[in-house]
Amino acid sequence: MCLPPCCIHIPRYHHPTHPPHTDTQREALVELGERHLKAIELERRVFIKSRALSLAQRLMLYARDELEMAVCSVFGCWVGGWVGG
């Protein structure tokens, strides 16, 4: 029977010159890890919102460019100015 990796118990390796962590050190490391995960989650939320804003700005730019091209095709303008007017 093959167990998934989460169910396999792997003993912790302790370097011979470094003693194992005490309970207070372990609690401090867990708290530090939790704060780090919260910071990563906040960055992810900001990234999602900024990505949505960037996409909206890009679509607005495309729409304005398309509108300008349509106006130029109707009234006959070019990049440097107006033609025939």
Model-wide pTM > 0.75: no
Furthest-apart CA pair in the chain: how many Å? 87
DSSP string, 10-40: -PPP--TTSPPPPHHHHHHHHHHHHHHHHHH
Tens of pLDDT, residue by residue over 55-83, are 999 999 999 999 988 887 777 766 565 55
Contacts of 72 (CB under 8 A, 6+ apart): 78
Tens of pLDDT, residue by residue over 10-37, are 556 566 666 667 888 888 888 888 999 9
Tens of pLDDT, residue by residue over 43-58, are 999 999 999 999 999 9
Contacts of 85 (CB under 8 A, 6+ apart): 75, 76
Q: How many CB atoms lie within 10 A of CB 77?
A: 16
Domain definitions of the chain by residue range: 24-75
Distance CA 38, CA 30 (A): 12
